Amino acid sequence: MTLIFLIGSGFLMHPEKPSLQDKRAEEIIKASQDFYYNLEDMEIDFSYLVKGISSRQRIQRGSIQIKKAKYVMKMREQETFCDGSRIWVYLPGVNEYMVFSMGEWTYGNIMQLIYSMYFSPSEKAYQGIEMLEDGTRTHKIRFLMKSSDLNYSTAYAWYDEETKLLAKVTFLDRQRRQRTFSFSNLRYNRGVPNETFVFRPQNYPGIELRR
């Protein structure tokens, strides 16, 4: 499944002549993007695995609702709301929340990672067919990030060979830690109302503002 329709219809151009692998990567990304660009809204489930922070690894699961630039991401340990201009991060375990502007970074926020992967300068390269654990045949594409302002250096994306939809993405940071998101169960054009994407602290008794 994919979140690519969010990035619009343009692609970053390389100053050097693109290789055949670069062209193939762009074709697959655009094929995926074109399907989603005109969707009114979508919801997708995901699993999230972090490797390299500690010896203990575990998978978190969640879902994302998206309506153009608005989104809600919900996991057991964190909920993120974005109304297109502000981002609220709610931490249920401590009943606290933080507020950010759209341009500010929040570590582990999949939407911020996806945005930066496509908007920031990168070298894209097609790396062939790869089989996922569930048996899905995918096209693998590497994004080598050029900006030192990002807290990751490389992203790997796997697109379903048949549908060209994004099935999995891994972000590798500069400390060699990996964050992997796997996607499933896409639902779309369900008429999600705009108020879904606004966080309302008054609905959480005793909540505290951390930032």
Which amino acid is residue 124, in one-letter code?
K
Instruction: Name the DSSP letter for residue 149.
Output: T
Q: What is the CATH number of domain 21-209?
A: 2.50.20.10
- When pLDDT is cut at 50, 70 and 90, the band that residue 7 belongs to is very low
Contact 182/168 with Cβ under 8 angstroms? yes
- When pLDDT is cut at 50, 70 and 90, the band that residue 10 belongs to is very low
E strand or H helix at 35: helix 20-36
- When pLDDT is cut at 50, 70 and 90, the band that residue 177 belongs to is confident
> 49-53, 135-139, 152-156: lowest mean pLDDT where?
49-53
93 vs 13: CA distance, rounded Å: 43
Q: What is the pLDDT of residue 18?
A: 52
Task: Kindly list the domain boundaries of the chain, sorted by start residue.
Answer: 21-209
Q: pTM of whole model > 0.75?
A: yes
190 vs 3: CA distance, rounded Å: 16
Instruction: Name the DSSP letter for residue 7.
Output: G
Residue 73, beta-bridge partner list? 64, 80
Which amino acid is residue 88, in one-letter code?
W
143 vs 161: CA distance, rounded Å: 18
Condensed to tens digits (0 to 9), the pLDDT of residues 94-129 reads 999 999 987 675 555 778 788 888 888 899 999 999
